Chain A
Amino acid sequence: MQLKIKIKSGWNNTSLFGIVLIAPLLLWIVVMIVYPLISSIWMSLTDVDFLGINSNFVGISNYIELITDVEFWTAMGKSMIWTIGNALLQLILGFTTALIINQQFKGKSFVRIWIILSWIIPTIVLAIIWRWILNSSFGILNYILQLFNFVEQPIDFLGSFQLAMPTVIFINTWRWFPFLAIIILAALQTIPVEQYNAASIDGANSFQKFIYITFPMMRPTLSVLGLIGTLWSINIFDVIYMLTRGGPAGATETIPVFVYQKAFQEYAMNKASAAAVILFLFLSVFVVFYFKIEPTFREDNFLN
Chain B
Amino acid sequence: MSFIKRKSKSKKRAVLKYVLILLLLGVIILPFYWIFISSVKPTDELIRAIPTFVPEKWTVNHYSNLFAASDYGQYLWNSFYVAFWTMLITVILASLGGYSIYRCSYPGKNLISKLILVAYIFPQVLILIPLYKVMSSFSLINNLWSLIIINVTICAPFGVWLLKTFFGTIPMAIEEAAAIDGASQFKTLYKIFIPLAAPGMATVAIYAFLTSWTEFLFANTFILDEELKTLPVGLARFITQYNVDWGLLTAGAMVTAIPPLVFFAFVGKNFVKGLTTGAIK
Partner-B contacts on A (CB < 8 A):
1-3, 5, 7-12, 14-19, 21-22, 24-26, 28-29, 31-37, 39-40, 43, 52, 97, 100-101, 103, 105, 109, 111-118, 120-125, 127-133, 135, 137-138, 140, 143, 174, 178, 182-183, 185-187, 190, 221, 224-225, 228, 231-232, 234-235, 237-238, 241-242, 255-256, 259-260, 263-264, 269, 272-273, 276-277, 279-280, 283, 287, 299, 301-304
Could you say which of B115, B123, B169, B261 contacts A283, with CB atoms under 8 Å apart? B123
Flag if A103 contacts B129 (CB, 8 Å): no
Q: Which partner residue on chain B sits nearest A231 by CB separation?
A: B121
Flag if A29 contacts B232 (CB, 8 Å): no
Flag if B107 contacts A182 (CB, 8 Å): no
Could you say which of B31, B34, B117, B125 contacts A260, with CB atoms under 8 Å apart? B125
Binds A, one of B4-12, B58-66, B249-257: B249-257
Known: A7-B113, A235-B125, A260-B217. A18 touches B38 (CB 8 A): no
Flag if A29 contacts B116 (CB, 8 Å): yes
Can you show 5 pairs from A to B with CB atoms below 8 A apart?
A1-B281, A32-B127, A122-B231, A128-B249, A235-B122
Q: Which partner residue on chain A sits nearest B35 by CB separation?
A: A129
A173 to B268, CA, bound (A): 21
A142 CB to nearest chain B CB (Å): 10
B239: interface (CB < 8 Å): yes
Flag if A33 contacts B153 (CB, 8 Å): yes
Flag if B126 contacts A234 (CB, 8 Å): no
Flag if A15 contacts B133 (CB, 8 Å): no
Could you say which of B94, B186, B239 contacts A25, with CB atoms under 8 Å apart? B94
Known: A32-B153, A276-B129. A112 touches B31 (CB 8 A): no
Identify whether the interface residues of A are mostly helix, strand, loop, or mixed: helix
A15 to B100, CA, bound (A): 9
B260: chain A residues within 8 A (beta carbon)? 120-122
Q: Which partner residue on chain A sits nearest B105 by CB separation?
A: A8
B217: chain A residues within 8 A (beta carbon)? 237-238, 241, 260
Q: Which partner residue on chain A sits nearest B156 by CB separation?
A: A25
Q: Which partner residue on chain A sits nearest B259 by CB separation?
A: A122
**Which 5 A-B pairs rank lowest in CB-CB distance, beginning with the nearest?**
A18-B104, A186-B276, A36-B130, A122-B214, A21-B100
B35: chain A residues within 8 A (beta carbon)? 125, 128-129, 132
B261: chain A residues within 8 A (beta carbon)? 117, 120-121
Could you say which of B21, B157, B239 contacts A131, with CB atoms under 8 Å apart? B239
Flag if A238 contacts B216 (CB, 8 Å): yes
A161 to B151, CA, bound (A): 34
Could you say which of A9, A124, A127, A263 contacts B109, with CB atoms under 8 Å apart? A9
B152: chain A residues within 8 A (beta carbon)? 28
B157: chain A residues within 8 A (beta carbon)? 29
B126: chain A residues within 8 A (beta carbon)? 36-37, 40, 259, 276-277, 279-280
Flag if B108 contacts A9 (CB, 8 Å): yes
B269: chain A residues within 8 A (beta carbon)? 109, 113
Q: Which partner residue on chain B sits nearest A245 by CB separation?
A: B240
Known: A100-B21, A129-B35, A241-B216. A10 touches B105 (CB 8 A): yes
Flag if B256 contacts A124 (CB, 8 Å): yes
B67: interface (CB < 8 Å): no
Flag if B168 contacts A228 (CB, 8 Å): no
A12: chain B residues within 8 A (beta carbon)? 105
Flag if A129 contacts B235 (CB, 8 Å): no
B205: interface (CB < 8 Å): no
Could you say which of A3, A31, A137, A235 contacts B168, with CB atoms under 8 Å apart? A3
A145 to B185, CA, bound (A): 66
Flag if A9 contacts B97 (CB, 8 Å): no
A35 to B129, CA, bound (A): 12
A259 to B132, CA, bound (A): 14
